[in-house]
């Protein structure tokens, strides 16, 4: 017996209908915010990811050598490919550029709750605008991509953080470049690491001062608004140069939060410097979206994550171009929406079920099936000759609104009997007028008082 690979999913029709619903609402939200759809290849040169995504994703790549001897990988994310695509035409593309895509990504992770080896992501990205207005626009789009299904600020929260502020703080402690990125890597894991292990990982950077640093981190993680960020970070600025840089950054925080509040999105935002993001290319504001339990606590794995990555296009060899984007995953979103009762039951039903007699009747009935389908009316019929009793049972089970009956008597008179399967009402129509008549019955139904013709 054959089985699926671990971490992959089969989508039976009901799952597919759910997935399509998710994609439809996502793309409506993206378009409504002015994003245009693009697409990229599933398979890419391996070095696009080994050089640009960072070690965490590289350890999860599905990679192999193709028949032409090229080292290739299934895309684990879209961002490096998108950066290449935008970079190649950056001079001629209008800015700000707002693009979106919904696509499958592959990561060789340990399959677990909320994490699979194949998942779909909505990606929205904005290029060409360095200021916090673009970050606000992007976060607003991410919020709308969840709110459009029904959840409110009681159900989910955007944890908003800032790698720039972290880097300025670490610079004030003497850590820059690779060392600062190493410390951020530990902070990224803090929520999942026991204290002792976190301290151990901080030792190479802080030695005996690791406990003091850890205590400062705990304070930073408890800061929940712009004024407390200002008090802490300005209070720890060791010189005028860093103080000026921190002041400049705090002004951008104020603009970002004011933009979001003006759009009515304040209640969805939580200042939370615990988010630093695992991917290597992020440079400024970063965020992750989490579901909230009834008591307001964060729960589960991230529904979405993103942030600013102003140097990625430049690192690919193209002109430096400011960029900000997010990815929202279908696995955690579907679980979340189901849990909150926000996914309608997806049942695909025909409009019409055609009940057919044998011989001439079947020929006339099939002609009606063809005409109805050409007119866009969803039409089903039994693929082989079966008795009327069974066909009526099938018509009922199909969920169709109307049954069309083409028996030998009807065929002899070029007529079709139409039964409203909800009201029980029946009428006779001429086969030549079937399409117009069926359209009207689908809109208005057939009253139960009508007697069969």
116 contributes a contact to ligand HAM by CB under 6 A: yes
Cβ-based burial of 381 (10 A; exposed 0-12, middle 13-18, buried ≥19): buried
Classify the C-alpha dihedral 24-30-33-39 as positive or negative: negative
Q: What's phi and psi for 243, nearest 5 deg?
A: -60, -45
Interface stretch with ligand HAM, choices 34-42, 249-257, 329-337, 341-349 (CB under 6 A)? 329-337
CB of 121 to ligand HAM, least distance (A): 5
Interface stretch with ligand HAM, choices 119-127, 140-148, 224-232, 428-436 (CB under 6 A)? 119-127
CB of 83 to ligand HAM, least distance (A): 9
125 contributes a contact to ligand HAM by CB under 6 A: yes
Under a CB-based contact definition with an 8 Å cutoff, are residues 373 and 351 in contact?
no
CB of 407 to ligand HAM, least distance (A): 53
**Distance from C-alpha of 430 to C-alpha of 449, rounded to nearest angstrom:** 20
Options 331, 337, 403, 437; binder of ligand HAM; rule CB under 6 A: 331
418 contributes a contact to ligand HAM by CB under 6 A: no
159 contributes a contact to ligand HAM by CB under 6 A: no
**Size of interface with ligand HAM, in residues (CB under 6 A):** 23
How many separate helices (H) and strands (E) can be counted in the chain? 17, 16
- Within 8 A by CB and 6+ apart from 342, the residues are 149, 150, 151
Q: Give which of 368, 407, 373 is closest to 391, Cα–Cα.
A: 407
Options 303, 355, 403, 429; binder of ligand HAM; rule CB under 6 A: 303
Indicate the residue among 93 and 199 with the shorter CB distance to ligand HAM.
Answer: 93
CB of 323 to ligand HAM, least distance (A): 7
365 contributes a contact to ligand HAM by CB under 6 A: no
CB of 223 to ligand HAM, least distance (A): 23
DSSP-assigned letter for residue 331: H
CB of 114 to ligand HAM, least distance (A): 6
CB of 28 to ligand HAM, least distance (A): 19
CB of 332 to ligand HAM, least distance (A): 5
What is the signed CA dihedral for 217, 222, 227, 230, rounded to 10 degrees? 0
Options 305, 350, 357, 407; binder of ligand HAM; rule CB under 6 A: 305
Q: Give which of 188, 186, 187, 164 is closest to 176, Cα–Cα.
A: 164
**Distance from C-alpha of 264 to C-alpha of 153, rounded to nearest angstrom:** 11
CB of 100 to ligand HAM, least distance (A): 10
Interface stretch with ligand HAM, choices 22-30, 223-231, 260-268, 303-311 (CB under 6 A)? 303-311
CB of 39 to ligand HAM, least distance (A): 15
Task: Tell which phi-psi region holds residue 264, choosing left (phi > 0), alpha (psi between -120 and 50) or beta.
Answer: left
DSSP-assigned letter for residue 149: T
Using a CB cutoff of 8 Å and minimum separation of 24, what contacts does 415-421 make?
415/453, 416/364, 416/365, 416/368, 417/452, 417/453, 418/446, 419/446, 420/445, 420/446, 420/448, 421/353, 421/395, 421/396
33 contributes a contact to ligand HAM by CB under 6 A: no
Indicate the residue among 74 and 356 with the shorter CB distance to ligand HAM.
Answer: 74
151 contributes a contact to ligand HAM by CB under 6 A: no
Find the angle CA(311)-CA(165)-CA(157) to the nearest 5 degrees: 95
Options 18, 75, 98, 107; binder of ligand HAM; rule CB under 6 A: 107
327 contributes a contact to ligand HAM by CB under 6 A: yes
Interface stretch with ligand HAM, choices 115-123, 151-159, 164-172, 236-244 (CB under 6 A)? 115-123
**Distance from C-alpha of 187 to C-alpha of 64, rounded to nearest angstrom:** 33
**Distance from C-alpha of 30 to C-alpha of 263, rounded to nearest angstrom:** 16
Interface stretch with ligand HAM, choices 112-120, 158-166, 189-197, 233-241 (CB under 6 A)? 112-120
SS3 258: helix
Interface stretch with ligand HAM, choices 304-312, 388-396, 415-423, 445-453 (CB under 6 A)? 304-312
Tokens at 17, concatenated: 């209908």
Site mask for ligand HAM (CB under 6 A), range 40-79, x = bound: -------------------------------------x-x
Q: Which residues bind ligand HAM (CB under 6 A)?
A: 77, 79, 107, 109, 115-116, 119, 121, 123, 125, 279, 302-306, 309, 325-327, 329, 331-332
């Amino acid at each position: 017996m054959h089985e699926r690979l671990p971490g992959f999913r089969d989508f039976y029709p009901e799952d597919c209908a759910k997935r399509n619903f998710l994609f439809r609402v996502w793309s409506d939200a993206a378009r409504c915010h002015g994003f245009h759809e693009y697409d990229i290849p599933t398979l890419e040169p391996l070095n696009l990811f080994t050089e640009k995504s960072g070690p965490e994703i590289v350890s999860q790549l599905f990679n192999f050598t193709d028949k032409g001897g090229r080292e290739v990988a299934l895309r684990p994310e879209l961002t490096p490919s998108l950066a290449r695509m935008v970079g190649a035409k950056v001079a001629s593309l209008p800015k700000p550029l707002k693009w979106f895509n919904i696509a499958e990504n592959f990561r060789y992770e340990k399959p677990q709750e909320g994490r699979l080896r194949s998942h779909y992501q909505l990606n929205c990205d904005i290029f060409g605008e360095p200021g916090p207005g673009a970050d606000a626009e992007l976060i607003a789009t991410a919020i709308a991509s969840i709110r459009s299904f029904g959840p409110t600020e009681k159900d989910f929260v955007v944890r908003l953080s800032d790698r720039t502020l972290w880097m300025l703080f670490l610079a004030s402690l003497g850590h820059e470049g690779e060392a600062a990125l190493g410390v951020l890597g530990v902070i990224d894991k803090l929520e999942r690491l026991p204290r002792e292990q976190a301290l151990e990982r901080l030792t190479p950077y802080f030695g005996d001062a690791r406990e003091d640093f850890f205590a400062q981190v705990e304070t930073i993680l408890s800061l929940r608004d712009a004024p407390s960020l200002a008090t802490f970070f300005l209070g720890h600025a060791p010189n005028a140069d860093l103080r000026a840089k921190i002041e400049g950054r705090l002004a951008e925080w104020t603009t970002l939060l004011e933009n979001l509040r003006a759009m009515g999105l304040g209640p969805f935002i939580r200042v939370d410097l615990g988010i630093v993001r695992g991917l290597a290319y992020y440079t400024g504001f970063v965020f992750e979206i989490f579901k909230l339990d009834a008591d307001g606590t964060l729960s589960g794995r991230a529904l979405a994550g993103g942030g600013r990555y102003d140097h990625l296009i430049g690192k690919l060899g193209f002109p430096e171009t400011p960029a900000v984007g997010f990815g929202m995953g279908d696995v955690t979103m579907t679980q979340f929406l189901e849990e909150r009762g926000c996914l309608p039951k997806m049942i695909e039903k025909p409009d019409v079920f055609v009940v057919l007699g044998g011989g001439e009747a079947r020929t006339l009935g099939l002609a009606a099936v063809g005409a109805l389908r050409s007119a866009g009316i969803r039409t089903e019929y039994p693929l082989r000759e079966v008795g009327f009793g069974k066909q009526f049972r099938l018509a009922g089970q199909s969920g169709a609104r109307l049954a069309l009956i083409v028996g030998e008597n009807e065929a002899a008179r070029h007529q079709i009997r139409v039964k409203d399967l909800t009201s029980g009402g029946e009428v006779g129509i001429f086969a030549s007028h079937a399409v117009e008549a069926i359209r009207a019955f689908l809109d208005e139904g057939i009253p139960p008082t009508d007697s069969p013709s």
